[in-house]
Amino acid sequence: MELAVREVAPKNRKPRQKDESKLGFGRLFTDHMFEMDYHPDKGWHDPRIVPHHPLSLDPASMVLHYGQEAFEGLKAYRGKDDGVYLFRHRDNLKRMNNSCKRLVMPELPIDFISDCLKKLVLLDRDWIPTSTGCALYIRPNIIATDPFLGVRPSSTYLYYIILGPVGAYYPEGFNPVSIYVSDKYVRAVVGGVGDAKTAGNYAAGLLAQKEAKDKGFTQVLWLDAIERKYIEEVGTMNIFFKFGDEVVTSPLTGSILPGVTRDSVIQVLGKWGVKCTERNYSIGEVIAGLKDGHVTEVFGSGTAAIISPVKSIQYKGQDYQVGDGKTGPLSQKLYDYILSLQYGQQEDTFGWTERIDL
């Protein structure tokens, strides 16, 4: 397949936010995007980089009614050497294909998409922020486009990638966040689509998220849907608890998103000789540990959230502070280390970081 490129004339390019402390998350978009169509007779075809533009969709498009879609979130980083780096981007593309399988959508050719994604990022490379913690967020999305109101998998699809410069995901910046344990709502159940990155999982979480926000919390901590007991994940990140010398996170049972940053944390802890166990653990165990001081650190992991320390947890109306409420030493060390890998500033023994501008 031949990639067509239609560039925005330099005089028509958008002004950029110069103050990177004001970037926030997900509000600004670059000049270009990637698109490609799927038709059962042609497969994936007509790949193109074009100006970022509104989509024109039939109002009957199946994605708008039945949510048949999958997306990804990854980032391009600008190193101190001005190099442009991607971090484990093929793992995101592979995860997207797993989401596609679950949502009965055609898989993407990973090598080709990887090439197109790099070309797109390099075309908009001037948008990549330079401050640590800021990056160019990359959002691939695949949507069902048949104009049809019966319930079945669509036969046509649009795949696109948009880009935007981002800073911290949470309004707290990189400071510790407070989370609220929902025992009223659930996010996903084993056998459902909880381990696919698909819009419905996020829509299902909005009411609990709103209630948490109204009560002054940053995010919701989800429990398992059957017993409402075991820790699963937080709204936009996986979650880790440090019990004494052991770090614990939930296993990938099928209802949890298999985070690329989650896997990186597990591997980095292994390299450092810190015991990290994937096991079921209950909210009761967490509360007991917070009360008697056995739980010393709690942090989330995600592409958008990076490593996000948690300062307090509310469960059944009771607030529990984590340690002294400040970022713990292990969370800080992980944040610094993973960021330095992502920005190409650390010898990468894992082979995760790829410089793409040479």
Residues within the interface to ligand COI (CB under 6 A): 73, 202, 236, 302-304
- CB 303 to ligand COI: min, Å: 3
Nearer to ligand COI, 61 or 301 (CB): 301
- CB 9 to ligand COI: min, Å: 31
Q: And the tokens for 34?
A: 């990637």
Nearer to ligand COI, 236 or 296 (CB): 236
* Cα–Cα distance for residue pair 242/219, rounded to 1 Å: 19
**CA-to-CA dists, residue 28 to 17, 35, 115, 164, angstroms:** 9, 19, 24, 5
**CA-to-CA dists, residue 199 to 48, 55, 63, 143, 174, angstroms:** 24, 18, 10, 10, 26
Q: In the complex, which residue's CB is closest to ligand COI? A: 73
Nearer to ligand COI, 86 or 290 (CB): 86
Chain Cα centroid distance, residue 23: 17
- CB 291 to ligand COI: min, Å: 31
- For residue 142, the cross-strand partners are 70, 159
- CB 213 to ligand COI: min, Å: 15
Nearer to ligand COI, 92 or 296 (CB): 92
* Cα–Cα distance for residue pair 169/235, rounded to 1 Å: 12
- CB 261 to ligand COI: min, Å: 7
Whether the CB-CB separation of 248 and 240 falls below 8 Å is answered with yes
Nearer to ligand COI, 182 or 296 (CB): 182
SS3 53: coil
- CB 8 to ligand COI: min, Å: 26
DSSP string, 174-207: TS-EEEEEESS--S--TTSSTTS--HHHHHHHHH
Nearer to ligand COI, 48 or 102 (CB): 102
Nearer to ligand COI, 185 or 202 (CB): 202
Relative to beta strand 43-51, strand 69-71 is unpaired
Relative to beta strand 84-87, strand 74-78 is antiparallel
Nearer to ligand COI, 209 or 236 (CB): 236
- CB 321 to ligand COI: min, Å: 26
Nearer to ligand COI, 166 or 330 (CB): 166
- CB 73 to ligand COI: min, Å: 2
The pair phi, psi for residue 110, each rounded to 5°, is -60, -45
- CB 283 to ligand COI: min, Å: 23
Whether the CB-CB separation of 67 and 23 falls below 8 Å is answered with no
Which class for 191: exposed (0-12), middle (13-18), buried (19 or more C-beta within 10 A)? Answer: exposed
